[in-house]
Amino acid sequence: MALMCAFFTILVLASASYYVCKRSLRECAATLGVHSPPDYSPSQRIVHAHSAQNESMAKKITSLEEKLNNFEVRYRVRHREVVSLLVKPVTYNFPKETAPYPPGYSEEAMNMIHNLTGTRVLNGLQPRYIHRMQLPFLVQILTHLLNDPFSLWPLYHLSGARHYMDFVIGIPTVKRDKQTYLFTTLTYLIKALSAEDKRSVVIVILVGEPDVTYILKLARQIEIMFPREISDGVIEILAPSPAYYPELEDLCPTLGDSPKRAMWRTKQNLDNIYLMAYAIGKGVYYLMLEDDVTTKKDFLPEMKGYIETTTEKTPHWIFIEFCQVGAIGKVFRTRDLLPFVTYSQIFYSNMPIDWLLESYLADRVCSIDKKSLCPAAAKKYKRLEKKSCAESKLRVRPRYKVSLFQHIGVYSSLQGKIQKVQDPQFGKVQSYFPHQNPPVQKITTTIEDYYQHSIQNAYEGIDFFWGKKPKKGDTLEFWYGRPLQIKRVTFRSGNAEHITDQFYNTVVEVLPAFGDNNFTTILHFDEFGLADGDVEEEFSLVKAIRLRVNADSKYWVILSEIYIQTPDEKKT
């Protein structure tokens, strides 16, 4: 207790020093005559221009004030921790045997752990509790966090112990249905950073998956591709505990979204919330990215320069946009993350992350009629009192003149969803996915094919099938000469060039090898044109597989993937 009291005293003294330092900094600026330049006309600017030295000093003082403000946040975090210890000392004794290898690891995971013995990757399986993670979360809202004392304890955390960088770059990632872009994103980022930049940056990759085997494989791949960045702590890998996530199946869908989409965007919000909470107190600025972007060379110096200039002119900005697509390229001060994290916890299941950003801005600076600034903000920007909400948001959401980041992902993290993105740097986007399917006796269809895009070529993995507008009752049938045992089937419609050319209101049926000659429905094409799933054992021995259209379509249809998986092979 005496030790804690002494530490508390040190924190109080540090707080007093902080305010003295901050006041002295402002007095120093006033003595030097360094102020924010008034709104002069062009001729007046020439007459009253400061010297280059004073302008440089103004930028340095602005930068120092930013850092002092962030040190205040760190002080408050430590102060709260000490107070909680003084009021109610609690010791958490986590069993050592459950920290590195908790029960429930699969045999595959344990084999991988054995194979990775001696690598840095295994250090991530023995994470320390991150005290600051407790503060941003409201258990009164996310009540499921109370169900498990380990809910905020990371499942995996490979950290290089970098504590207070200029920039924290957050990249959430999950398994993608067809193609991963994470390594492309990391390659672009690392190549764009100079040696000096790397000393002031930490890239945090959040893996939003509960599968330890997948996490270890991904971490090992990253370590192999970027060994220097892992050893120097430039790249960190973080995975939340499965207990951090609520039961997503119990969500009430909003915005007219399907349950599948609602679960996907809610999970995406929770990943971003966890990542932002981790970034609080870890750096001065937080950069939001996704795992499927590229970046311009020297993006970091450009960002730093614009942030300094913007902070001088508009010190009350909320976040700065360096890309206008979705939630990519948004920069927060880490000391401003807590209000947004709190806001996001309230509405995490209501809307996607990019809408949360817009809604947060509107609630901060717009009146209830969404036509003007709120009274507090109007005092700061008197000339904008009668401006629209959109104009008000631009004042606190400055945008850089060009985009420093580009979205490259075609196949979304939401299974089956295709996002059309054209990027000449990555060549032609793959238009179909070939597989070696079981021999077929005959294939028939009532849908007229276009040019040489036949269903036979699609089944054999030579090309994709492209048919003219399907009508109700149209079918595609695959007949086998002898009974075929199937384990799983995948039919993917549409591709990156023709997203809308999908199967709508269409089912997958099988004709059992024995019994009557009636087809049985086993799958439905979802809203993204995907029918993919395991086949129940009672329907696994078949004579034929059929796709049947139940309603007229106003679009043509593309079948970009056909995969009939048998029990004796693994999915490719």
114-123 pLDDT per residue, tens:
888 878 888 8
Written as six digits, the tokens of 22 are 């901050």
If you average pLDDT over each of 121-130, 177-186, 341-350, which comes out highest? 341-350
d(CA 504, CA 501): 9
Instruction: Scan for tokens 């009508």, then name that residue.
Output: 471
- Angle at which helix 52-87 crosses helix 2-31, to 10 degrees, equals 160
Is the confidence at residue 315, as pLDDT, over 80?
A: yes
pLDDT at 99: 42
Contact indicator for 405, 185 with CB cutoff of 8 Å: no
178 vs 244, higher pLDDT: 244
d(CA 414, CA 263): 9
At residue 265, the pLDDT reads 87
Angle made by CA atoms 512, 518, 520, in degrees to the nearest 5: 65
CB atoms under 10 Å from CB of 308, counted, come to 15
Q: Is the pLDDT of residue 375 over 50?
A: no
pLDDT over 70 at 479, yes or no: yes
Q: Whole-number mean pLDDT of the chain? A: 79
Q: Which pLDDT score, from 0 to 100, does residue 554 have?
A: 92
**Does pLDDT of 22 surpass 70?**
no
Specify the pLDDT at position 524.
Answer: 95
**Residue 50 carries which side chain, given as an amino acid letter?**
H
pLDDT surpasses 90 at 204: yes
Select the more confidently predicted residue: 160 or 50.
160
pLDDT at residue 72 is higher than 80: no
Reported as a single tens digit per residue, the pLDDT across 361-371 is: 888 888 776 55
DSSP string computed for 544-570: EEEEEE-S--SS-EEEEEEEEE-TTS-
Q: What whole-number distance in Å separates Cα of residue 509 and Cα of residue 547?
A: 6
* Tokens, residue 389: 């909400």
Handedness of CA 190, 194, 197, 198 (dihedral sign): positive
What was the pLDDT predicted at 57?
76
Instruction: Report residue 33 as tokens.
Output: 């005559």
Distances (CA, A) of 4 to 1, 10, 82, 474: 5, 10, 7, 76
Q: What is the pLDDT of residue 138?
A: 80
Is the pLDDT score of 330 beyond 90?
Answer: yes
Calpha distance 106→98 (Å, rounded): 15
Sorted by sequence, the CB contacts under 8 Å of residue 171 that are 6+ apart come out as 182, 185, 186, 203, 204, 205, 206, 289, 290, 291
Confidence of residue 386 (pLDDT cuts 50, 70, 90): very low
Q: Scan for tokens 């007459």, then name that residue.
A: 47
**The pLDDT value given to residue 121:** 85
**In terms of pLDDT, which residue wins out, 437 or 325?**
437
Exposure string for 59-77, b = 16+ CB within 10 A, e = fewer: bebbbebbeebbbebbbbb
Asked whether 310 and 397 are in contact (CB, 8 A), the reply is no
In the predicted model, is pLDDT for residue 27 greater than 60? Answer: no
Tell whether the torsion through CA atoms of 86, 90, 93 and 94 is positive or negative: negative
Cβ burial of 244 (10 Å; 0-12, 13-18, 19+) is: buried
Mutual orientation of helices 337-347 and 259-279 as an angle, nearest 10°?
A: 160
Distance CA 146, CA 353 (A): 25
Choose between 20 and 225: higher pLDDT. Answer: 225
The rounded distance, in Å, linking the Cα atoms of 252 and 520 is 31
pLDDT for residue 161: 77
User: Would you state the pLDDT for residue 234?
Assistant: 95
User: What is the arithmetic mean of pLDDT over 399-418?
Assistant: 68
Q: Where are the domains of the chain?
A: 81-89+108-365+391-407, 442-565
Between residues 206 and 38, the one the model is more confident about: 206
What CATH fold (topology level) applies to the domain 442-565? Jelly Rolls (2.60.120)
**Range of weakest confidence among 169-173, 328-332, 375-379, 446-450:** 375-379
Q: What pLDDT is attached to residue 116? A: 81
The percentage of residues in the chain with a pLDDT greater than 70, rounded to a whole number, is 75
- Least confident span in 214-223, 348-357, 410-419: 410-419
**CA-based diameter of the chain, in Å?**
96
pLDDT one-digit tens code per residue, 210-259: 989 999 999 998 998 888 999 999 999 999 999 999 888 777 777 777 88
3-state percent helix, strand, coil for the chain, nearest multiple of 5: 40, 20, 40
Mean pLDDT (whole number) for 471-485: 95
Tell me how crowded residue 510 is: count the other CB atoms within 10 A of its CB.
24
Out of 3.40.50.720, 1.10.580.10, 3.40.50.2300, 3.90.550.10, which CATH number does the structure's domain 81-89+108-365+391-407 have?
Answer: 3.90.550.10
Has residue 47 got a pLDDT over 60?
no
**What is the pLDDT at residue 135?**
72
356 class by beta-carbon count within 10 Å (0-12 exposed, 13-18 middle, 19+ buried): buried
| 100 band by pLDDT with thresholds 50, 70 and 90 | very low
What pLDDT, on the 0 to 100 scale, is given for residue 432? 85
